[in-house]
A and B are shown apart, each in its own frame.
Chain A
Amino acid sequence: MDEDEFDAFYNASYRRVCAQVYAMIGDSDEAAECVQEAFARAWAHRRKMSSVDYPEAWVRTTAYRLAVGRWRRKKYAGRAADRAVGVRMEMPAVDETHVALVAALKKLPEAQRQAIVLHHIADLPVHQVAAEVGVPTGTIKARLSRGRTALAALLADEAPGTALEGGVR
């Protein structure tokens, strides 16, 4: 992967992967930092990347692992995430409906959330989700089914709550 190929890959995939990781972890700042760090690592391992079938999946998985690792460290040590990529960036305001969806996703078990994000937001077919997560397709189907049911219930609960909050204000 040369510079031009990397730049094209980065420019085409960055926002999409950011949205997916944001949906998975529920923190847009953290998602942006982790995705940029994952792209930086992809460039650092560019020879290896040339032989990777789905570079975007590699970046997404790396970013997700980075995010989970940071969350564990923060939970354990209470320290801020490292600033490897640079200073923290000002994030644009996020659509409220997206915030509500991400909040609902956060309430799902991690495995169900991951399956739903990869299938419905990253738009991967079930077999590819299975390959990325490393479980059988049947397991992914079950997680998707349960996840969608749980998510529907969470979103249904969220609707009146939103109205109530608006009323209080």
Chain B
Amino acid sequence: MSDPISRLDQFRAETPGAPMKSAAEVRRRGDQIRRRQRTIVTAGAVALAAVVAGPIIFLSAGFGERATEPEPAPAPTPSQTPSTVPPSPSASTPVSDLTRANLPVEGDLVAEDPFPKWVLDKTYDGEGRSDYNECLATSLADAGALATFRRDFVPEAGKQYADSAGTLTAVAAEFASADEAEKVRAKLSEAASSCAPVDGSDVAGSLPVEGGVISDGDVNVVTYVPEDPSLNARWEVATAVVAVEDRLLVMTRRRGVQDYVSPTSVRDSAVAAAYRLAGSTPPPAAASSSPPSSPPSSAPAPILSDANLVVAGSLPGLPLPGESSATWQQVAAQPTPTLYCQGAWLSSLKAAESVSREFRLVNPEEIGRVNVAILEFATKAAADAAYEKVHGWLDTCPATMADAKLYTAGPIESIEIDSDPKVDRAAQTLAEYAADCGGEGCDSTWYDHQTIAQIGTRLVLVTHAEASGPCPPTTACPPEEDADYAEWDKRVAQTVEATVDRAVRDLS
């Protein structure tokens, strides 16, 4: 029977059976789509508001609902007057002379513009409950502290943006020796950086805390998606851990954020608080009785900013058969490394400042990825060392921060990048690893160009990844001639050059 009309009629009459979900299931999926669209629209509005107004805006619940409430200490009255209530040590253990006077006071703290100043909320003997910082699994007492005191600060009530400034907690501890304090500091710093107890936490950045009376210290920032879906921001935990001889200060700022802001205010607060931890008074330059917009003169002005980051419009579109090219859109920080081949989080490089940005394709999703990070180091030597470290990662591709299976990587090759000022050196490698198709028989692969460039004390890290398969994103499958790679190479080069161009804009 080859009569098409009768065959078509038969097809219509005997409509092939198709499995069918219940209408309720389909409606649920529709509701899901609707919620997602609403979230996207609202997020866009909030992002715009954040750009205009500066601060982070919460859609519903404030931070206070998530803030931990420490167990009240026995009858302490909030006071800035030193207390003499150390824990009662046994005769065989060293005696601590740490007191409440070693805790920071309001004047030590630097508020981030445009948030109001910090005011004292409560002071405790001991740490209260140890969950003032979700990244630290061990309390200072458990780590061997002889004595601990804690002071909580909140934004000045009634002031603009007080609801979105978050909370700040300072815990002072004394140990039996400087060595012991340093060991605990290193462990806490690592814990603050990795934030292992929080699933899906993402390292946002870090700064060293140094100068004054400080032996060693840093501030690490992680972010994560809150459990409360009505909050249209990521939770940010900035943890400064500072050692001063045999004493430690752990300063934690928790708040919701839309974008990463270098934690200079936490760093400067920790520098000033360190003097009080040591039993002295911060010099006027370190203590902040000045307005929030005037940080201590010991703190250098930030060098990097969003202006150093490439924008979506500068990235090359991805051609799609039969469609106009797909364009890029900036997305919130993802819980993935900037470079697939990274052997550790970038915070381990100890840059003085860092900014980063991520992009995905608007349509379709999941076939393109651009991550960029700009790192500024205190010295050329530090930048050189960090370049070598990253170069080593790209060369060997440990990929210890990534989940996807590696197929092939390398070799790493030196590349030329046209920029002003001139790039000192740059290298690039191509890694191929499994893309997540969510199904069996998936032959999709990420073709991921990873680039590092150095300009003086600055490093620029770029990922330009395109998913394809079984052939790479070339114009012919399989590619046979150099010309088949030309468009792909051009897209990668354009991404790298646009990123470097923005990264060095303030240097030219």
| A58 contacts chain B at the CB level, 8 A cutoff | no
Q: Which residue of A lies closest to B469 (CB)?
A: A78
Chain B 244-273 interface 0/1 with A at a Cβ cutoff of 8 Å (1 = within): 000000000000000000000000000000
Given contacts A76-B321, A77-B367, A92-B17, contact A82 B438 (CB under 8 A): yes
B358 CB to nearest chain A CB (Å): 19
B26 touches A43 (CB 8 A): yes
A79 touches B26 (CB 8 A): no
| A36 contacts chain B at the CB level, 8 A cutoff | yes
B4 touches A152 (CB 8 A): yes
Q: Which residue of B lies closest to A94 (CB)?
A: B16
| B439 contacts chain A at the CB level, 8 A cutoff | yes
Bound state CA distance, A23 and B17, in angstroms?
13
Q: By the criterion of a CB under 8 Å from any partner CB, how many residues of chain B are at the interface?
A: 53
| B200 contacts chain A at the CB level, 8 A cutoff | no
Given contacts A79-B442, A80-B437, contact A101 B19 (CB under 8 A): no
* Chain B hits for A75, CB < 8 A: 321
Bound state CA distance, A73 and B320, in angstroms?
8
* Chain A hits for B336, CB < 8 A: none
B30 touches A78 (CB 8 A): no
| A25 contacts chain B at the CB level, 8 A cutoff | no
| A57 contacts chain B at the CB level, 8 A cutoff | no
B442 touches A80 (CB 8 A): yes
Which of B5-13, B98-106, B209-217, B425-433 lines the interface with chain A?
Answer: B5-13
| B129 contacts chain A at the CB level, 8 A cutoff | no
Q: Which residue of B lies closest to A99 (CB)?
A: B16
Given contacts A36-B26, A69-B364, contact A44 B19 (CB under 8 A): no
B437 touches A79 (CB 8 A): yes
B27 touches A3 (CB 8 A): yes
A44 touches B33 (CB 8 A): yes
Given contacts A32-B18, A40-B29, contact A98 B11 (CB under 8 A): yes
A155 CB to nearest chain B CB (Å): 4
Q: By the criterion of a CB under 8 Å from any partner CB, how many residues of chain A are at the interface?
A: 60
Total A-B Cβ pairs within 8 A: 160
B17 touches A15 (CB 8 A): yes
| B227 contacts chain A at the CB level, 8 A cutoff | no
* Chain B hits for A151, CB < 8 A: 4
Given contacts A16-B15, A19-B16, contact A84 B29 (CB under 8 A): yes
In the complex, which of the residues B11, B442, B468 has the most CB atoms of chain A within 10 Å of its own CB atom?
A: B11
| B78 contacts chain A at the CB level, 8 A cutoff | no
* Chain B hits for A91, CB < 8 A: 18-19
* Chain A hits for B12, CB < 8 A: 19, 120-121, 123
Q: Which residue of B lies closest to A38 (CB)?
A: B26
Given contacts A10-B26, A76-B320, contact A28 B3 (CB under 8 A): no
A78 touches B7 (CB 8 A): no
B19 touches A90 (CB 8 A): yes
B439 touches A39 (CB 8 A): no
| A163 contacts chain B at the CB level, 8 A cutoff | no
B85 CB to nearest chain A CB (Å): 60
A158 touches B9 (CB 8 A): no
* Chain B hits for A152, CB < 8 A: 2-4
A15 touches B18 (CB 8 A): yes
A19 touches B18 (CB 8 A): yes
A155 touches B4 (CB 8 A): yes
Bound state CA distance, A7 and B25, in angstroms?
10
Contacting residue for A80 out of B320, B438, B471, CB 8 A: B438
B465 CB to nearest chain A CB (Å): 12
B466 CB to nearest chain A CB (Å): 8
8 Å CB contacts to A: which residues of B466-484?
A: 467-471, 473
| A51 contacts chain B at the CB level, 8 A cutoff | no
Please report A residues at the B interface, Cβ cutoff 8 Å: 3, 6-7, 10-11, 14-16, 18-19, 22-23, 28, 31-32, 35-37, 39-44, 46, 69, 72-73, 75-80, 82-86, 88-92, 94-95, 97-98, 101, 116, 120-121, 123, 148, 151-152, 155-156, 158-159
Instruction: Offer 16 A-B interface pairs, CB within 8 angstroms, sorted by A.
Output: A19-B16, A23-B11, A32-B18, A39-B30, A40-B33, A76-B321, A78-B445, A78-B467, A80-B438, A80-B439, A85-B29, A92-B16, A92-B19, A97-B1, A151-B4, A155-B1
Beyond A77-B366, A86-B29, A98-B14, 7 additional pairs, beta carbon < 8 A:
A6-B23, A7-B24, A41-B30, A76-B321, A80-B438, A91-B18, A155-B7
